[in-house]
Amino acid sequence: MKNARFAAVIVSVGLCSATHALAQTPGTGDATPPSATQSTPTPTPPPATASAPAAAESDELLFRFYGTLNPRFVLANGAVESFSQPNASAITAAGNPVYANFPDDSRHSFQVAQSRVGFWLNEKGPLKAQVEIDFVDFTKATPTVASLPRLRIARVDYSFHSVHTVSLGQDWDLHAPLNPHGINLVGALFQSGNSGFMRQQFKYFYTTPSFELGAAVGFPAPNVTPKDAFLEIGALPTFAVRGTYKFGKSRVGASAIATRIPFNFKAPDERFAAAFAAALFSELSPSEHTNIRVELNFGQNSANLGLLTLAQGRAAEDLQELGGYISVRQVLTGMHSVYGMAGYQKVLEPSKVVPSYDNPPTGSATLSGTGPGMLHNGTVRLGYEIKPIRRLAFVLEGFLFQSHFQLQPADVGNFNANRTTLGLETGAILTF
């Protein structure tokens, strides 16, 4: 009866509705948490046949509110971009010299939109639900009160056995489950080695203390237009698998995701192509104070699947790519920690990449929707963190981006396609 009543609560608040979300890490108690940030459901053991009074069950926590406040100051010596948008809301690359304003001039911004809030319903029970929002809008450079909520997670989990769990809704993709450390929670080395993202999907997990096997069926990619298109009509769902071996506080694993997508849907030259990605990942804790996260990935047309990578195929071409990252965090004392990370993503046939922008006859360049438009993208970040109390961290993080853009023929002689940008992000991360 308790589960039935809880199911009615879930349905009544509409937890199964999901909209488009663009990136990043769940809330956590640490600024650069020692555990994996793209978490998977942990099966709840069957209730013990304890002799606790019935009143104790009714007192079980049904609702838990949580959040992460992330005010940041960003300084850069040149243009930067956040998922192709020329601003510092969640930096993923140096700025495209054609699309950005004054690409060689230094700039700064204040950002709070990576803050997020959420809640769990019946978190300790076999049937539970989670909703989480943040306030990022990559089309707004420094929005202040113009920030709007953005749905990140809306999911329902059910552990019907001690080792079996199913999950339905919008959540982190089953594929590529790790994220790097750092203050840029939404940028997080995406498009430079980190390939995971969000998806609307149905997931299943078989979990033991030393092994986890997962499988998922999901929607191919977001469609933010008002009409059903080839994603709803012509494409197959995505199919993903993941296996993880766990030992102590460490884990290693492999994952893959694939489907078939149409190009020029219903046109005479319609073409169907394979879109897939595979990844090897590990999170190692060689000591109590050291955490290392690694990902290596390979894919074809993987950006067409909503993954935050570089290879976006089109009607005439399939694009393949290779990338990965390493992120290391070391606690020096109880209050002081340092961390560093490096990531790189590269399209294997650069001649097939098309620019991410168009040059209209009148006016400035506009994004064309043809993908990131980069041949390769590399990132290095170094950070220092001080935690005066457990839930508060002050972070100082320097970054370097080296990005190579594909330019329109008319721009090749006027702009340098290789862009290098140095900068600094500093601020606080408060979790509750």
Mean pLDDT on 94-117? 97
Which of 162, 222, 210 shows the shortest CA–CA distance to 41?
162
Mean pLDDT on 354-374? 93
Count of Cβ atoms closer than 10 Å to residue 199 Cβ = 27
> 52 lies in a domain?
no
Query: What is the DSSP code string of 388-413?
Result: EETTEEEEEEEEEEEEEE---GGGTT
Task: Please check the confidence at residue 29 and state whether its pLDDT lies above 60.
Answer: no
Mean pLDDT on 92-103? 97
**Predicted local distance difference test score (pLDDT) of residue 362:** 80
Q: Read off the CATH number of the domain in which 96 is found.
A: 2.40.160.10
Task: Write out the residue range of the structural domain in which residue 104 sits.
Answer: 2-40+60-431
> 47 lies in a domain?
no
Instruction: Tally the domains of the chain.
Output: 1
**Predicted local distance difference test score (pLDDT) of residue 27:** 33
**Predicted local distance difference test score (pLDDT) of residue 60:** 55
Spell out the residues 6+ positions from residue 171 whose beta carbon is closer than 8 angstroms to its own. Answer: 130, 153, 155, 198, 199, 201, 203
> 54 lies in a domain?
no
> 48 lies in a domain?
no
> 272 lies in a domain?
yes
Mean pLDDT on 53-66? 64
Do residues 120 and 66 make contact, with C-beta atoms less than 8 angstroms apart?
yes
To the nearest whole percent, how much of the chain has pLDDT over 70?
Answer: 86
> 164 lies in a domain?
yes
End-to-end CA distance of the chain: 32
At 384-403, the pLDDT tens digits run 999 999 999 999 999 999 99
Mean of all residue pLDDT scores within the chain: 89
> 278 lies in a domain?
yes
Do residues 222 and 197 make contact, with C-beta atoms less than 8 angstroms apart?
no
Mean pLDDT on 99-111? 97
Do residues 372 and 356 make contact, with C-beta atoms less than 8 angstroms apart?
yes
With bands split at pLDDT 50, 70 and 90, how would you rate the model's confidence at 45? very low
Mean pLDDT on 8-36? 36
**Predicted local distance difference test score (pLDDT) of residue 294:** 98
Task: Please check the confidence at residue 363 and state whether its pLDDT lies above 90.
Answer: no
